[in-house]
Chain A
Amino acid sequence: MFATEKEMQKSFEEHLRSIFHDNEAIIASQVEGLFGVPDVVLLEPPSGRTAHIIAMELKLSSWKKALTQAFRYKSFAWEAYVVLDASRSNSAINNIAEFREKNIGLATYSVERSFVVHCRPRIERPYCIHLTEKLVALFDQEVAVSNIKRKRPSRIDGFGKVFTESIAKQISKYPSISN
Chain B
Amino acid sequence: MIFSPVNDGPDRIMDVESSIRANSFFDPQFYIPASSRGKLPDYPFFPSTALPDYNTSDFETACWDIARACVEWQAKGNFSHIVIPTRYYDDLPSDYVGQISSCYIEPFLSAIEETGISKSILLTVIVKSVQVSDEENRNYLLNWLTSYENINGIYIIFENTMTGKQIKDPMYLAHCLYFIKVLKDNGLSVHIGYNNTEGLLYSLAGPDSISMGSYENLRKFNPSRFIEQDPQTKKQPNPRLYSGLLFQWIELNYIKAIQQLYPSWKILFENSRYTPLNFRPKEDWNLRQPELYKHFFIVFSKQAQELPENLIERGNYLRESIQRARQAFIEVDRSGVVLDDNSDGSHLSAWLTAMNIYASL
Residues of A within 8 A of B (CB): 35, 67-69, 71-72, 74-75, 101-104, 127-131, 134
Interface string of B151-166 (1 = CB under 8 A from A): 0000000000000000
Q: How far is the CA of A100 from the CA of B125 in the complex (A)?
A: 51
Q: Total contacts A to B, CB within 8 angstroms?
A: 38
Contact of B298 with A by CB under 8 A: no
Query: With A74-B257, A75-B256 in contact, is A130–B283 under 8 Å at CB?
Result: yes
CA distance A67 to B340 in the complex (A): 10
Q: How far is the CA of A131 from the CA of B284 in the complex (A)?
A: 8
Beyond A72-B340, A128-B253, A131-B253: 4 further Cβ-contacts under 8 Å? A35-B253, A75-B254, A127-B256, A130-B284
Q: How far is the CB of B148 from chain A (nearest CB, A)?
A: 49
* Residues of chain A within 8 A of B284, CB atoms compared: 130, 134
Provide the main secondary structure of the chain A interface.
Answer: helix
Q: Could you tell me the distance in whole angstroms from the C-beta of B14 to the nearest C-beta in chain A? A: 43
| Contact among B260, B282, B283, B339 for A127, CB-based, below 8 A | B260
Given A129-B282, A130-B284, A134-B284, verify A68-B340 contact (CB < 8 Å): yes
We find that the number of chain B residues with CB closer than 8 angstroms to chain A is 16
Name which residue of chain B comes closest to A104, CB basis.
Answer: B338
Most chain A C-beta atoms within 10 Å of own C-beta, residue among B260, B282, B338 = B338
- Does the CB pair B336–A103 fall under 8 Å? yes
B281 contacts chain A at the CB level, 8 A cutoff:
yes
CA–CA, A75 and B339, complex, Å = 12
Interface positions of B from 238 to 260, Cβ below 8 Å from A: 251, 253-254, 256-257, 260
* Alpha-carbon separation in the docked complex, A68 to B342 (Å): 11
Tell me, rounded to whole Å, the shortest Cβ–Cβ distance linking B279 to chain A.
Answer: 12
Most A-side CB within 10 Å, residue of B253, B339, B340: B253
* Residue in contact with A71 in the complex, picked from B256, B282, B338, CB distance below 8 Å: B338
Interfacial chain B residues near A130, Cβ < 8 Å: 281-284
Q: Cα distance A160–B313 when bound, in Å?
A: 61
Question: Closest CB-CB distance, B236 to chain A, in whole Å?
Answer: 12
30 contacts between A and B (CB under 8 A): A35-B251, A35-B253, A67-B338, A68-B338, A68-B340, A68-B341, A69-B340, A71-B337, A71-B338, A72-B253, A72-B340, A75-B253, A75-B256, A75-B257, A102-B336, A102-B338, A103-B336, A104-B338, A127-B253, A127-B256, A127-B260, A128-B253, A128-B256, A128-B281, A129-B281, A130-B281, A130-B282, A130-B283, A130-B284, A134-B284
Residue of B with least CB distance to A129: B282
B283 contacts across to A, CB distance below 8 A: 130
Report the minimal beta-carbon distance from A57 to chain B, rounded to whole angstroms.
12
The chain B residue sitting closest to A101, CB to CB, is B336
- Measured CB to CB, the closest approach of chain B to A18, in angstroms, equals 32
Residues of B within 8 A of A127 (CB): 253, 256-257, 260
Contact with A along B320-350 (1 / 0, CB 8 A): 0000000000000000111111000000000
| CB neighbours of A102 from chain B (8 A) | 336, 338
> How far apart sit A35 and B339, CA to CA, in the bound complex (Å)?
12
Please give the distance in Å from A54's CB to the nearest CB on chain B: 17
Which chain B residues border A74 with CB–CB below 8 Å?
257
A-side contacts of B257, CB under 8 Å = 71, 74-75, 127
Q: How far is A129 from B340 in the complex, measured between Cα atoms in Å?
A: 20
Interface string of B254-279 (1 = CB under 8 A from A): 10110010000000000000000000
CA distance A102 to B283 in the complex (A): 26
Which residues of chain A are within 8 angstroms of B336 by Cβ–Cβ distance? Answer: 101-103
